[in-house]
Amino acid sequence: MKNRTIFMKALLLGMSLCILAAPALAQSDRTKEWEATLQAAKKEGQVSIYIYRYEALIEAFKKDYPEIKPSVVTGTGSQLGKRIVAERRAEKYLVDVFSAGPNSAFNILYKGKTLDPLKPAFILPEVLDESKWYGGRHGFIDPEGKYIFGYLANPSSAQLYYNSSLLNPKEFKSHWDLLNPKWKGKIVSLDPRLTGLGQTMQFFYYHPELGPEFVKKFFGGMDMAFSREFRQMTDWMAQGKFAVCIGCKDTERAKNQGLPVDSFDNSLWKEGGAFSTGGGSLSLPNRAPHPNAAKVFINWLLSRKGQIAMQKLADRDDPPSSRRIDIPKDDVPLDNRLVEGRRYLDVGRPEWQDLTPIFQLVKEVMAGK
């Protein structure tokens, strides 16, 4: 009996030591994996990044990893996604990392089965630690939860902007106020059939107090003008040709230049605002030509250092807010942060990423005009 007791105590002690040692062993394995990946990436010497809007942060990456030369292609998410598809039809596999809006990533790349799971590329403990991210989880937004990672936590005004010399924003208490006949013919919108307006359309379509009926009346009954050029719409609004713009993306630049443009704060409206990843989602195209360099860039971008650089450098006129909650927000304007106590609809829900029913409705609405 005595020998059995001694044996059980020794067994329990051994098990305890193994449990205590496990995190250290895991950490050691991660360190070895990172060093091996980094050395292999330096041998590859290059990483091909297709990125929308936030390419300025790559300057910080170049300083940290001078041996890995970024080859950068910029454009809208839709343009970049279609480019990747065209390249692959020609049997060209040129891209390592795709960073753009989640709608393009989902509707073009995910549906086209051109992505590898992203989470296996996470190596650094601070990237793997879900407690460091908004909501205590990794923000994957595809149905399988492993291909499209949202790294931004942006409040969204549904991309609604106005000419401050033509209207008083205090007149608006609800999105339904946009249907007031006084604004008929005075609204310009990015073409709603483009993924660039995808998250706004998700907000309108899936919001329980707006829905398809709002979409029909708004896009079909307001004599709205449409454009595919962001800057053109902002210029038209600044000149007073239109009072309201949906989808202008450079209004902060125009506002900083003293032009009479501003964004609605619809988080104060009856239906509240949206919460989205904006143009900040990350994906890993399959058959990447520089797989190790891709992993290094991904881990750098999602690290504290990378996300701080993103907030500071990515868009000086309209700084994005990271989903990381362990970094300062000093570089992020108050309007670009989520405000506690306000109502937000999370349009990044996986079940809302398929834009097909929305596009179909919009086509019907616009065809009937």
Segments of 123-229 assigned E as strands: 149-150, 154-156, 160-163, 187-190, 225-227
Report residue 326: phi and psi, to 5°: -105, 20
Per-residue model confidence as pLDDT tens digits over 307-357: 999 999 988 777 899 999 999 999 888 778 877 788 888 887 888 878 889
CATH superfamily of 155-276+355-367: Periplasmic binding protein-like II (3.40.190.10)
Element (H, E) at 80: helix 77-89
Element (H, E) at 99: strand 97-100
User: Which residues face 100 on adjacent strands?
Assistant: 281
Task: Report the length, in residues, of the chain.
Answer: 369
Q: Note whether 166 and 74 are within 8 A (CB).
A: no
Q: Same CATH fold, 155-276+355-367 and 32-153+277-338?
A: yes
Residues 6+ apart with CB under 8 A from 166: 186, 240, 243, 260
For the chain, the domains span: 32-153+277-338, 155-276+355-367
Could you give the count of Cα atoms lying within 13 Å of 9 in the half-sphere of its Cβ?
Answer: 6
Q: What predicted TM-score, i.e. pTM, was given to this entire model?
A: 0.72
Q: Note whether 154 and 277 are within 8 A (CB).
A: yes
Tokens of 143: 């149905």
- Class assignment of domain 32-153+277-338? alpha beta
Tell me the longest C-alpha to C-alpha distance in the chain. Answer: 93
Distance between CA atoms of 321 and 311, rounded to whole angstroms?
6
What is the chain's pLDDT, residue by residue, as a tens digit (369 residues)? 555 665 555 555 555 544 544 455 466 788 999 999 999 999 999 999 999 999 999 999 999 999 999 999 999 999 999 999 999 999 999 999 999 989 899 999 999 999 999 999 999 999 999 999 988 999 999 999 999 999 998 887 678 999 999 999 999 999 999 999 999 999 999 998 877 788 899 999 999 999 999 999 999 999 999 999 888 999 999 999 999 999 887 788 888 889 999 989 898 999 998 887 878 999 999 999 999 999 999 999 999 999 999 999 988 777 899 999 999 999 888 778 877 788 888 887 888 878 889 999 999 998 865
